């Protein structure tokens, strides 16, 4: 992407030497900020092209400005040096990504401050993975909503969007090889998830076009549009195709993928890993997903598999005997390892929820640690990469205060989210490179509408963003709270529904 001229909201002639320089209200806060002399007035956040912007893309030039600091190659790719002065702006970066982040800093400065101090900023990220997950299965929001969140993520210098596209209540992505996934199980008669959950024992999906049907899915063109939008903002879109559990919808569309028991078994939750047809199905699905998503990673789920049917299914038992597997946990590990090999054959790496540790971890798998931090520590010490998203810090479906609409789960206020340090729990310096970063997860069992989803995301995503970018020693809750309040007001003016505490 070539963006060699920054869009700015500065009137260069309007300088003042009367006021005292103040640091900008930036989130995430820059690593190094130095105030200069004089001010630049922004024009009410209006973005206008300026020829007064010089961009230098040079790793050598950037390294000279690091003043002896050593950054990893992936950090250098995102790092930038920015000078805002009386004659204009100068940006030095090693890569187009660093230029983009410098531009986002200027964009936020112009939006948040009517008077900008001339300054110099040197900035780089702490973690390489700074993500948000959106559950689109339980409640479908659609392309425009996703693009809107990607815009905010870019401003916050976040770079991974985890797309939870399939789960029990609905399949949300076009798969040409298996059209019933979207013809049937992208639609249900009840809009609110818990109404559907209460009544789903009869297999309550409806055909597309049924009067009153609730749902939707992303066409391949929708995905292409979203990915192009994300690419311009240096955000990687990571799709999730759940296996083996959370597959009620898949089995409703293709019941032959169930275990070979009367009625498909006692529990319609899982695919049957004993049948070769299950792997044929998953491989065909993944081939189409790989074609749609150029991301390095594919998320394969792996969580909450109940495994009860597998202990009774003759196909599963035959598979276990043939492969020398001693338990249902080892059967799940066999499935995940096999899918990892398939992913590798197509140039992909897998991510799975921390249950993929059960029965033995696939050789190159990345673990998404959600139960807490223990599974992540276990994976790190076994030499695996980890993304931390522990429920008690990063699950954004939990309520922010008791006055919130549909409050559920534990109390997870902004301060608690901000307090999370992915490297605080006994990870050595030698192991730290295996911690890729962190992610905020918005599950939508209780979140039906777009306005509600944004209320759950913001301002807590601001805290996820700053934790992912800033060194732990620079975190300052009172200062962050002040900055989050300023950005929240601006975000509301931009049309985002940002949560307000009862006292606000």
**How far lies 39's CA from each of 13, 36, 51, 119, 499, in Å?**
10, 9, 19, 9, 33
Dump pLDDT digits (tens) for 277-288.
999 999 999 999
Residue 154 predicted with pLDDT over 70: yes
Cα–Cα nearest to 396, from 356, 438, 352: 438
Residue 6 pLDDT level (bands cut at 50, 70, 90): very low
More confident of the two residues 5 and 297? 297
Q: What is the pLDDT of residue 113?
A: 77
Q: What is the pLDDT of residue 16?
A: 36
- For the chain, the average pLDDT equals 90
Residue 327 predicted with pLDDT over 80: yes
Q: Which of 74-78, 170-174, 402-406, 471-475 comes out lowest in average pLDDT? A: 402-406
Residue 17 predicted with pLDDT over 50: no
Q: What is the pLDDT of residue 53?
A: 85
Q: What is the pLDDT of residue 35?
A: 87
Q: What is the pLDDT of residue 314?
A: 95
Q: What is the pLDDT of residue 210?
A: 92
| Residues 393-406, mean pLDDT to the nearest whole number | 88
Q: How far apart, in whole angstroms, are the C-alpha atoms of residue 86 and residue 391?
A: 47
Residue 322 predicted with pLDDT over 80: yes
Q: What is the pLDDT of residue 350?
A: 97
Q: How far apart, in whole angstroms, are the C-alpha atoms of residue 226 and residue 210?
A: 28
Q: What is the pLDDT of residue 40?
A: 72
Q: Which of 30-34, 93-97, 257-261, 339-343 comes out lowest in average pLDDT? A: 257-261
| Residues 158-164, mean pLDDT to the nearest whole number | 98
Residue 110 pLDDT level (bands cut at 50, 70, 90): confident
Q: Is 292 left (phi over 0), alpha (psi -120 to 50) or beta?
A: alpha
Q: What is the pLDDT of residue 187?
A: 96
Spell out the domains of the chain, with CATH numbers in brackets: 7-123 (3.30.379.10), 129-477 (3.20.20.80)
Per the CB < 8 A criterion, the answer to whether 295 and 237 are in contact is yes
Catalytic residue IDs: 167, 246, 304
| Residues 84-103, mean pLDDT to the nearest whole number | 93
Q: How far apart, in whole angstroms, are the C-alpha atoms of residue 423 and residue 12?
A: 43
Q: What is the pLDDT of residue 264?
A: 52
CA 264 to chain centre: 34
Residue 215 predicted with pLDDT over 70: yes
Residue 293 predicted with pLDDT over 70: yes
Dump pLDDT digits (tens) for 44-71.
543 334 457 899 999 999 999 998 899 9
Q: How far apart, in whole angstroms, are the C-alpha atoms of residue 501 and residue 504?
A: 5
Contacts for 470 with CB less than 8 Å, ≥ 6 apart:
28, 29, 31, 126
Residue 204 pLDDT level (bands cut at 50, 70, 90): confident
Q: What is the pLDDT of residue 5?
A: 39
Identity of the highest mean pLDDT range in 4-18, 130-144, 184-198: 130-144
More confident of the two residues 460 and 42? 460
247: phi then psi, degrees, rounded to nearest 5 = -125, 35
Q: How far apart, in whole angstroms, are the C-alpha atoms of residue 41 and residue 20?
A: 14
31: which DSSP letter? S
Q: What is the pLDDT of residue 501?
A: 80
Dump pLDDT digits (tens) for 421-459.
999 777 888 999 999 999 999 999 999 999 999 999 999
Q: What is the pLDDT of residue 404?
A: 76
Could you identify the residue written with the tokens 């702006």?
89
* Residue 392 in tokens: 């008690």
* Residue 14 in tokens: 């309007």
| Residues 308-331, mean pLDDT to the nearest whole number | 95
Q: How far apart, in whole angstroms, are the C-alpha atoms of residue 140 and residue 78?
A: 32
**Pairing of the two strands 115-123 and 80-85:** antiparallel
Dump pLDDT digits (tens) for 234-263.
999 999 999 999 999 999 999 999 998 865
């Amino acid at each position: 992407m070539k963006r060699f001229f920054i869009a700015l909201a500065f009137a260069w002639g309007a300088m003042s030497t009367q006021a005292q320089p103040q640091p900008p209200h930036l989130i995430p806060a820059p690593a190094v900020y130095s105030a200069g002399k004089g001010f630049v007035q922004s024009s009410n956040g209006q973005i206008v092209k300026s020829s007064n912007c010089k961009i230098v893309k040079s790793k050598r030039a950037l390294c000279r400005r690091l003043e002896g600091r050593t950054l990893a190659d992936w950090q250098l790719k995102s790092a930038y040096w920015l000078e805002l002065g009386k004659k204009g702006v100068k940006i030095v970066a090693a890569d187009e990504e660093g230029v983009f982040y410098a531009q986002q800093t200027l964009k936020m400065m112009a939006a948040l401050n009517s008077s900008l101090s001339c300054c110099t900023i040197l900035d780089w990220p702490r973690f390489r993975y700074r993500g948000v997950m959106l559950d689109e299965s339980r409640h479908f929001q659609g392309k425009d909503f996703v693009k809107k969140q990607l815009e905010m993520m870019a401003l916050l210098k976040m770079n991974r969007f985890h797309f939870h596209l399939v789960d029990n209540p609905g399949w949300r992505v076009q798969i040409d090889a298996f059209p019933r996934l979207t013809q049937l199980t992208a639609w249900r008669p009840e809009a609110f998830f818990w109404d559907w959950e209460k009544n789903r024992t009869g297999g309550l999906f409806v055909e597309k076009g049924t009067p009153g049907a609730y749902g939707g899915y992303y066409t391949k063109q929708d995905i292409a549009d979203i990915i192009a939008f994300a690419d311009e903002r240096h955000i990687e879109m990571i799709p999730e195709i759940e296996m083996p559990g959370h597959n009620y919808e898949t089995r409703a569309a293709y019941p032959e993928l169930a275990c070979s028991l009367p009625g498909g078994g006692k529990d319609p939750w899982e695919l049957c890993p004993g049948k070769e047809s299950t792997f044929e199905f998953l491989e065909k699905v993944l081939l189409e997903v790989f074609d749609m998503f150029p991301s390095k990673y594919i998320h394969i789920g792996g969580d909450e598999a109940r495994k009860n049917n597998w202990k009774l299914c003759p196909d599963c038992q035959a598979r276990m005997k043939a492969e020398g597997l001693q338990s249902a946990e080892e059967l799940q590990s066999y499935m995940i390892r096999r899918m990892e090999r398939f992913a590798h054959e197509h140039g992909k790496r897998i991510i799975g929820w921390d249950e993929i540790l059960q029965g033995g971890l696939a050789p190159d798998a990345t673990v998404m640690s959600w139960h807490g931090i223990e599974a992540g520590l276990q994976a790190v010490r076994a030499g695996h990469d980890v993304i931390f998203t522990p429920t008690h810090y990063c699950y954004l479906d939990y309520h922010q205060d008791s006055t919130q609409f549909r409050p559920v789960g534990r109390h997870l206020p902004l301060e608690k989210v901000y307090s999370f340090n992915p490297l605080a729990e006994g990870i050595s310096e030698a192991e730290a490179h295996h911690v890729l970063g962190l992610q905020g997860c918005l599950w939508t069992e209780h979140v039906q509408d777009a306005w509600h989803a944004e209320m759950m995301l913001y301002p807590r995503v601001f805290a996820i963003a700053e934790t992912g970018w800033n060194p732990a020693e620079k975190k300052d809750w009172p200062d962050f709270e002040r900055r989050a309040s300023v950005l929240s007001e601006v975000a509301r003016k931009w049309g985002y529904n940002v949560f307000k505490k009862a006292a606000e």
